[in-house]
Amino acid sequence: MPETPAGLRAGTGDVVLMVGTTKGAFLFRSDPDRGTWQTEGPHFPGEEVYAIALDQRAGRRRLWAAPGNAFFGTTVRASDDLGATWSGKEERSVKFPEESGLALSRIWQIRPGRDSEPDRLFLGVEPTCLFESTDAGDTWAPVESFLKHEHRPKWTPGNGGLCMHTILPDPESAERMVVAFSTGGVYRTDDGGASWRPRNQGVRAEFRPDKHPEFGQCVHKVVHHPSRPERLFLQNHWGLYRSDDWGDSWEDVANGVPSDFGFAMAMHPHDPETVYIVPLEGDYFRCTPEAKLRVYRTRNGGASWEPLSRGLPQEDAYETVLRDALDTDDRERAGVYFGTRSGKVYASADDGDSWSLVRDGLPPVVCVKAAVLA
Amino acid sequence: MSGVTVVLPSQLRELAEGRASVLLRGGPPTVGDALQALREDYPAVYDRVVTERREVRPHVNVFVGREDIRWSGGLRTPLTDGSEVVILPSVSGG
């Protein structure tokens, strides 16, 4: 087995890149200029890490990861020293109740809650459910209304499993939250999680005879900007959409992209009009169109999209970027980062205008998260 | 020796104080009982072998002697004094 990593040596202002792969997690750090990167890992060698997060609320610097494997299951583990030590070797804290008849198979999303509730965190898991902690991650419980949702018997897994991959709390209201999962689509609560309604009007389900069901869409990712939280952008399994009303209605914004199929989507940290995606050719051939690795960016809320290719391979690049493998940091000139299933990690320090290869030869990358250390 | 021995795979030994095997006194009557007894001392091992549905995880194999319990009654597989319960990850993966 690889040596145990010593943990990342990084301080305030440094940029940290957290990369989950199918065989472990790798950590990167850079100075604020993001010109060179130090790396260490793998943490949890041999285990897949589909979800990572950094919680910097209430003076914390707590790294969360969800390692797991097909043999022994999955759990969440936390580190307060950037990976030098991890909690979580004890009995697992994330479990379905026995009477639910469900067994946890993967954790897809770790989401710190609102800044005003620094001890609240959420998990999106497979089979699809929302878990919540109100004690900073010491204990977890499924959100009862979601666990017992009347639609549950009709939710069906996509190729990746029946996974909840998106959790978007309203930063202004504790009553409202949007979640999304494959397949099922977008659901929203307006009453603090007491009830959840599907919000998929206008989002198509290409793989069904009825193309516009109330629910059952294969949504791949939804993002929004905290300064304009009601505006949602959605990368669908075929389809690129925007909603200006918290998902009550959706408008097609696939304007000028080579394909409206893809997985990954990320919001610019400062501009609520700017979103990044990585289109793929389609659901049968899930690779970058024309074998060119291009990130696409809109700076006008989806009215048009431009390819970003400087520094990225433009021939023989049969790449796939998965739903959580694209992220931004919140430096003034945003860093944009993504990882590929072929084990490459690319970074841009200029809003996506130009790119460089940070690391090659990793196991397949399934999630990338970036943060500036407070 | 009196009792039932549970043999752990290398991946789970750090969750059981580094032990390669655990001797359960008292001769639990079934594999399920043996795993429950193991749970009292090593709950982290138990939940890596058994799901919330009280089923052995699909990619974990449990043997009594050389017999896979899938074909001998699952967790209800009977044990006798001196039985050896062997836990191993399956050959799946990539």
> What percentage of chain A exceeds 90 in pLDDT?
92
What is the pLDDT, as a whole number, of residue A272?
97
Checking if the pLDDT of A157 tops 90, the result is no
A72·B90 Cβ contact <8 A: no
Summary mean pLDDT of chain B: 92
Which residue among B47, B53, B57 sits closest to A92, beta carbon to beta carbon?
B47
Which residue among A91, A103, A104 sits closest to B44, beta carbon to beta carbon?
A91
Summary mean pLDDT of chain A: 96
Which residue among B44, B49, B93 sits closest to A89, beta carbon to beta carbon?
B44
Which chain B residues contact residue A89 at CB under 8 A?
14-15, 44
Query: Could you tell me if A76 lies within 8 Å of chain B, comparing CB atoms?
Result: no
The arithmetic mean of pLDDT across residues A76-95, rounded, is 90
What is the pLDDT, as a whole number, of residue A143?
98
State the pLDDT confidence band at B93, using cuts at 50, 70 and 90.
low
**pTM for this predicted structure:** 0.94
Which residue among A69, A71, A91 sits closest to B47, beta carbon to beta carbon?
A91
Q: What is the pLDDT of residues A35-46, one digit of tens each?
A: 999 999 999 999
HSE of A43 in the Cβ direction (CA atoms, 13 Å)?
29
Q: What is the pLDDT of residues A161-186, one digit of tens each?
A: 899 999 999 999 999 999 999 989 99
State the pLDDT confidence band at A4, using cuts at 50, 70 and 90.
confident
In a mutational test of the B interface, the residue from A1, A4, A48, A71 whose CB has the highest number of chain B CBs within 10 Å is: A71
State the pLDDT confidence band at A88, using cuts at 50, 70 and 90.
confident
What is the pLDDT, as a whole number, of residue B28?
79
What is the pLDDT, as a whole number, of residue B1?
57
Checking if the pLDDT of A3 tops 90, the result is no
What b/e string do you get for B24-52 counting C-beta neighbours within 10 Å, with b at 16 or more?
beebbebbbbbbbbbbeebebbbbbbbbb
A136 class by beta-carbon count within 10 Å (0-12 exposed, 13-18 middle, 19+ buried): middle
Query: Could you tell me if A104 lies within 8 Å of chain B, comparing CB atoms?
Result: yes
Query: Could you tell me if B12 lies within 8 Å of chain A, comparing CB atoms?
Result: yes
Which residue among A71, A90, A97 sits closest to B89, beta carbon to beta carbon?
A71
Domain ranges of chain B: 4-89
The arithmetic mean of pLDDT across residues A282-290, rounded, is 94
In a mutational test of the A interface, the residue from B51, B62, B90 whose CB has the highest number of chain A CBs within 10 Å is: B51
Task: Determine whether domain B4-89 maps to CATH 3.10.20.30.
Answer: yes
What is the pLDDT, as a whole number, of residue A160?
80
Checking if the pLDDT of B61 tops 90, the result is yes
Q: What is the pLDDT of residues A206-231, one digit of tens each?
A: 988 899 999 999 999 999 999 999 99
Min Cα distance A69 → chain B (Å) is 9
How many CB atoms are located within 10 Å of the residue A59 CB? 7
Token code pair at residue A166: 């998106």
Contact between A69 and B11 under an 8 Å Cβ cutoff? The reply is no
Query: Could you tell me if A45 lies within 8 Å of chain B, comparing CB atoms?
Result: no
